[in-house]
């Protein structure tokens, strides 16, 4: 019985570390590829709920920041893509 508790405690410790790392990756990927940053942020947020230590609390903050940043940048990039799909690149061509 004590071995099982020790294993569960070790797994909870690992989930805090994993969610912390996913939070950092989520913020970095939000700038480069917002959709993947959103996915990493959601996965990290789910993992951070499994643990209740100090590291998982930091991870929740990082994952939340990553989710919000990814969502904003994804909406902006979609809006830009839709604009240029509808209007084409005519404004850039007319400048030359």
Q: For residue range 40-95, what is the model confidence (pLDDT) as tens digits?
A: 999 999 998 888 888 889 999 999 999 999 999 999 999 999 988 888 776 666 55
Q: By the 8 A CB rule, do 29 and 71 touch? A: no
pLDDT at 96 > cutoff 60: no
Q: By the 8 A CB rule, do 74 and 34 touch? A: yes
- Two tokens, residue 39: 């996915």
Q: By the 8 A CB rule, do 19 and 45 touch? A: yes
What pLDDT was estimated at residue 33? 94
CA atoms of 8 and 43, how far apart (whole Å): 20
- Two tokens, residue 28: 């970095």
pLDDT at 9 > cutoff 70: no
Query: Closest by alpha carbon to 37, among 51, 24, 52?
Result: 24
What confidence category does residue 21 fall into, taking pLDDT thresholds of 50, 70 and 90? Answer: very high
């Amino acid at each position: 019985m004590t071995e099982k508790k020790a294993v569960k405690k070790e797994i909870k410790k690992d989930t805090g570390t994993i969610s912390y790392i996913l939070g950092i990756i989520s913020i970095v990927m939000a700038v480069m590829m917002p959709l993947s940053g959103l996915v990493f942020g959601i996965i990290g947020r789910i993992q951070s709920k499994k643990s209740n230590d100090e590291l998982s609390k930091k991870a929740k903050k990082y994952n939340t920041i990553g989710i919000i940043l990814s969502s904003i940048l994804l909406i902006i990039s979609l809006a830009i893509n839709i604009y240029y799909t509808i209007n084409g690149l005519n404004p850039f061509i007319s400048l030359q």
